[in-house]
Structure 1
Amino acid sequence: MQRLNILIWHIHGAYLTAITQAEHNWYLPVKPGAPEGYCGRGQDSSMPDYVREIPAEDVKNLDLDLIICQTPRNYQTDRFEILSPEQRQLPTIYLEHNTPEPHPTDSRHPAADDPAVTLVHVTNYNRLMWDNGQTPTRVIKHSVAIDPTVQYTGQHREGIVVVNEIQRRGRMAGFDLFEQLRQQLPLTVAGMKSAEIGGIGEIHYTRLHHTVAQYRFLFSPMRYSSLPLAVIEAMTIGMPIVAVATTELPTVIQNGVHGFVSADPAELLAGMQFLLDNPTEARRMGDNARELAAREFGLPRFVDDWNAVFAEVISQASSVNPANEVVY
């Protein structure tokens, strides 16, 4: 399709790196001090050169085709502060990364019943659980854009968790499970503020997977989350997964095939111990995980899905306002 001019805020760096593999002209607003959403490309970004920063006060002068919001603040505040009245009438997508809060089934989405918005969820579980009202919804499964040369070795007889600020996030992120299980076998954590609890600290995204690949398995202790990108990244490099069997994960990981999933901590412990004691089996499951990741979460499919949604929302907007119709 023809290249579009798209405005998007920097909310989730890993996801932003993946979605910008779709070859359009992407614009990231920036503000002094880099408040939430306004840090631009970020430090040592691996995003393509066609992803450009623009001062927030200059956004109103852009010839845009599409707006992508990702947070209530983007949707309710940011777009009204930095977009012109004309830009606020442009096709708009709300990309929802998260499971519903504060209630898992009764939380109404901020964009519910907004016919001018297309709401894109990253898992079927999320779309099912959010109260979306009458807003049109789509699901685009995750993907990741990481160094394709990174390969699992599993040389460290230790598991690893990759969660930012796991202690602050508490039970939802599974901090208590991590603490319980690391008392019984070798298990560490990477991510923001992980060094404070005996982990290996924060590692820049461009180097993270080289480090993770050396551990025997990735453990996802999250009780309530979208399908974690750390899981997709680990699968992509050929790493076996041990995970709490909640939200979307039971539809992805099969026991004994890609790793182990369970809601029973004793079963999680047994799966971890098996992988620590059987490196050949760990590699077999990691190979299966890599094949699954390529099939279900590969970048070509992800880019095609996003381009299809872009074409759909542009076409719908043109049919509503045919005077401004553009052929794509």
Structure 2
Amino acid sequence: MRILVWHVHGSWMTAFVQGRHDYLLPLVPDRGPDGRGRARTWDWPASAVEVPAEDLRHTDFDVVVLQRPEEVELVERWTGRRPGRDVPALYVEHDAPRAGAADSRHPLADRKDLKVVHVTAFNRLYWDCGDAPTAVVEHGVVDPGYRYTGASPSLAVSVNEPVRRWRTAGTDVVLHLAAGVPVAVHGMGVLDLAERTHGTPAGANLTVHEDLPQARLHEVLGTHRAYLHPYRWTSLGLSLIEAMMLGLPVLALPATAAPENVPREAGVLSSDPDVLLATARRWIAEPEEARAAGLAAREAAVAAFGVHRFQADWDRLLTEVTS
């Protein structure tokens, strides 16, 4: 099958392109959001092929997998085909609704010709999709292998733009813990956080690492004693799943889909940052307890989020929509 799909979320896309299909990735000259082409920092197979946007009108494909509302118009403009009408289409909803979650209407609500595919059951519960058909395909992650050493008595955090996304990403929670234990923050835009916290008690314990390639990030994450997932509101962070697969024990807020996916033996979920801080201090003092929780985290993540299950779920949907 030839699938037209945009490179929007690198970690999700890395699992998606592992299948048996050909993946056509729109490319624009500046590699902006409307056409990034292939990833530069993830390892993708040769079946993920860049197609210049101007060539799409003369390119054959069997189905389009959309991920942003604007892609509906881009497909029609670039290919002359209307998603859901002239070509089979599915729409992946990566995010939980933002404001007014319980009453949020999905941008594709009532589009009976487009199935909305949620990445968590939490997403489907909270989005109002009206009469649009829906499905859930839980995340899949390419297993990075057990990389845990826990040698560094510190917490790891993966977050992009922690200053702009302050409360949503739980950056204030990160700083609360950093006032008491060393914390390393990885991601894009993290240099802004270093500048903002310079000279503060939290800043003294905070290190930042800007946008490491995925393979290097996995290596570095495994050296930390535990993983902190401070998000107040997110669908289910792929960074959390990857950290669990690496073998890191988890500290997190009991928000959105996290309680369903982090078993008790894999870490501690609490709405009280002081409870998370106390656990971090205990794990720093008792590394074998942290290691045992990390092994449980890996076992749970591999069982729930293996890429083979993910691909099988997607194959069923793709076959259904193109039949």
**Shorter-chain TM-score: what band?**
over 0.9
Question: In 2, Cα distance between the equivalents of 1:200 and 1:79?
Answer: 37
* Range 155-164 or range 267-276, more displaced: 267-276
Q: 2:312 aligns with which of 283, 289, 304?
A: 304
Cα root mean square deviation, aligned:
1.4
The question of whether the paired residues in 1 share the 8 Å contact of 2:67 and 2:91 is answered with yes
Question: In 1, Cα distance between the equivalents of 2:322 and 2:228?
Answer: 40
Letter in 1 for 2:11: A
The question of whether the paired residues in 2 share the 8 Å contact of 1:158 and 1:215 is answered with yes
Whether 2:157 is the aligned partner of 1:161: answer yes
SS at match of 1:67: strand
Whether 2:257 is the aligned partner of 1:248: answer yes
After superposition, what is the alpha-carbon deviation per residue over 1:250-309, rounded to whole angstroms, capped at 9, x for unaligned? 111133x00110111122112222221211111111111111111111111111111111
Aligned pairs for 1:193-272 (under 5 A) are: 193-198=189-194, 199-255=208-264, 257-272=265-280
Question: In 1, Cα distance between the equivalents of 2:284 and 2:117?
Answer: 38
**How far is 1:33 from its partner?**
0.8
The question of whether the paired residues in 2 share the 8 Å contact of 1:100 and 1:107 is answered with yes
Question: In 2, Cα distance between the equivalents of 1:27 and 1:206?
Answer: 24
**Could you tell me the percent identity over the aligned residues?**
37
| Residue 186 of structure 1: aligned partner | 182
Letter in 1 for 2:210: G
After superposition, what is the alpha-carbon deviation per residue over 1:148-170, rounded to whole angstroms, capped at 9, x for unaligned? 3x511111000011001111111
Q: 1:58 aligns with which of 51, 55, 58?
A: 55
**How far is 1:81 from its partner?**
2.0
**How far is 1:86 from its partner?**
6.5
Question: In 2, Cα distance between the equivalents of 1:237 and 1:176?
Answer: 25
The question of whether the paired residues in 1 share the 8 Å contact of 2:38 and 2:49 is answered with yes
Q: Which stretches in structure 2 are left out of the alignment for 5+ residues?
A: 195-207
Aligned pairs for 1:21-40 (under 5 A) are: 21-40=18-37
Question: In 2, Cα distance between the equivalents of 1:231 and 1:209?
Answer: 12
Question: In 2, Cα distance between the equivalents of 1:239 and 1:40?
Answer: 32
| Residue 14 of structure 1: aligned partner | 11
Q: How many residues align?
A: 309
Q: 1:279 aligns with which of 284, 287, 305?
A: 287
Letter in 1 for 2:278: A
The question of whether the paired residues in 1 share the 8 Å contact of 2:144 and 2:246 is answered with no
**How far is 1:103 from its partner?**
2.1
Question: In 1, Cα distance between the equivalents of 2:290 and 2:241?
Answer: 17
Question: In 1, Cα distance between the equivalents of 2:75 and 2:253?
Answer: 37
The question of whether the paired residues in 2 share the 8 Å contact of 1:146 and 1:206 is answered with no
Letter in 1 for 2:167: R
After superposition, what is the alpha-carbon deviation per residue over 1:90-138, rounded to whole angstroms, capped at 9, x for unaligned? 1110000001023211111111111111110011111000001111111
**How far is 1:23 from its partner?**
1.4
Q: Which stretches in structure 1 are left out of the alignment for 5+ residues?
A: 316-328
Letter in 1 for 2:105: R
SS at match of 2:277: helix
Whether 2:172 is the aligned partner of 1:176: answer yes
Question: In 1, Cα distance between the equivalents of 2:21 and 2:299?
Answer: 28
**How far is 1:43 from its partner?**
1.7
Judged with a 3 Å threshold, the aligned counterparts in structure 2 of structure 1 residues 49 and 176 are, in CA distance, closer, same or farther, namely same
Whether 2:131 is the aligned partner of 1:123: answer no
Aligned pairs for 1:122-161 (under 5 A) are: 122-148=119-145, 151-161=147-157
The question of whether the paired residues in 1 share the 8 Å contact of 2:14 and 2:142 is answered with yes
Judged with a 3 Å threshold, the aligned counterparts in structure 2 of structure 1 residues 143 and 86 are, in CA distance, closer, same or farther, namely closer
Question: In 2, Cα distance between the equivalents of 1:91 and 1:277?
Answer: 55
Q: 2:302 aligns with which of 288, 294, 302?
A: 294
What is the TM-score with the length of structure 2 in the denominator? 0.92
The question of whether the paired residues in 2 share the 8 Å contact of 1:259 and 1:271 is answered with no
Judged with a 3 Å threshold, the aligned counterparts in structure 2 of structure 1 residues 227 and 201 are, in CA distance, closer, same or farther, namely same
**How far is 1:60 from its partner?**
1.5
